[in-house]
Amino acid sequence: MKKLEVAIVGFGFMGRTHYGVWKKLRNARVACVCDSNLAQIKAKTKGNLNVADDSDLPPSVRVYDNFDKMLAAEKLDVVDITLPTPLHAPMAIQALNRGLNVLCEKPMSIDAKTCDRMVAAARKAKGKLMVAQCVRYWPEHRVLESYIRSGKFGRVIAADFTRFSPAPGWNRGGSCWFLDEKKSGGVALDMHLHDTDEIHHLFGLPKQVISHSHCHKDGWTDFISTTYGYSDKVVTASSSWAMAPSFVWESGFRVVFERAVVVANSHAATPLIVYPEKGKPFSPKLPKPSGYETEIRTFAAWVGGDAKVAPVTAESARDSVAIVDAERKSARTGKPVRLVRDPLGHTSRLDRTRTRRRLLFGQGEQSSSI
């Protein structure tokens, strides 16, 4: 079996996290890594979770400090983009235009308009594009999804998702691109997007969003809370970068079904508990492996031809960014923002879709057309 030749571009926190997973895959090999700051190759990287692989690279992994040089020199199958967000679109498009498969970290790009360029490039490309919306693969979320899709506990009445962290810069030695809202999109796009995407994935496109946010004294958004408009359930999510540095990252959800309540909390000794209508609370067995590993294995299987349909379609990742665009607009204006899909487009399968699709938001305002 020929192994997928993989390049990881951007060798910071997520680059090293993906590296640790790619190393485990029997059908792939990390051929090279690229980082414009070569000091990163030996750095002991810190992020908000203890997941990065800090081991030294073996001599078989070639190192580049320039993306163009790497593309010219290497025969690759996969480019794995773990770069700061503004670089996702240009580098993903460049790799797709060369016929390569691309795994791109979330958020897909800085706004939906830029995501549209990636969707267009992916539709023309020989290679495949998947955005790494890892929460869809998180064990607790996979169990929740199975309850929702199977209807085991009836329909969902209400769902609340939370994600709380100190600001990203605190453990990165001061200066940090995440705190420049033009580069990261602030807490709304960088972190809250995880839950927006999960809500979109589980419940479909909301009719509207109403958001409130708080701005840090240095100008970046450090808290956002949103109510997503669905006709048959109440869905809310909040994310914070305003927690004190001593606060340990916390994420979770509380989903009220007709016949059970399902609660996940990363701080709890038992991370997932089901409180059924009848009988005692229980902790479902969580699927293995980890969210990051399942995500990358799923992408590798898709690229290798084991799955026909995109695991995370480019269109759905793009629409999740469009919802966050609407949330940011609602928080800015203090008004609800409507989200409307035109009657032509309901499929979001990248492999099948050739129809024009529009996701509109605001009073008669068109965000984009694909």
**Contact positions toward ligand NAD, by CB under 6 A?**
9-15, 34-37, 40, 47, 67, 82-85, 87, 105-106, 132, 134, 190
> Which residue, 89 or 156, is less far from ligand NAD as judged by CB?
89
Would you say 134 or 255 has its CB closer to ligand NAD? Answer: 134
Give CA separation, 246 vs 166, 171, 222, 249, 331, in Å: 8, 11, 16, 9, 28
- Helices first, then strands: H and E counts in the chain: 10, 16
Q: Which residue is nearest to ligand NAD (CB)?
A: 12
> What number of residues does the chain have?
370
Using the minimum distance from each CB to ligand NAD, give the nearer residue, 11 or 220. Answer: 11
Check: CB of residue 251 under 8 Å from CB of residue 164. Answer: yes
Whole-number minimum distance, CB 218 to ligand NAD, in Å?
Answer: 18
Q: How far is the CB of 298 from ligand NAD (least distance, A)?
A: 14
Distance of alpha carbon 237 from alpha carbon 161, whole angstroms: 5
Burial of 55 by CB count in 10 Å (0-12 exposed, 13-18 middle, 19+ buried)?
A: exposed
- Shortest Å, Cβ 82 to ligand NAD: 5
- CB closer to ligand NAD, 169 vs 336: 169
Q: Can you tell me the distance from the alpha carbon of 137 to that of 299, in angstroms, rounded to the nearest whole number?
A: 11
CB of 66 to ligand NAD, least distance (A): 7
Q: Given the complex with ligand NAD, which of 9 and 179 has the nearer CB atom?
A: 9
> Measured from the CB of residue 70, what is the shortest distance to ligand NAD in angstroms?
9
Report whether 119 contacts 314 (CB < 8 A): yes
Q: By C-beta, is 122 or 156 nearer to ligand NAD?
A: 122
Region for residue 199 given its phi and psi (left: phi exceeds 0; alpha: psi -120 to 50; beta: otherwise): alpha
Instruction: In angstroms, give the least distance from the CB of 154 to ligand NAD.
Output: 31
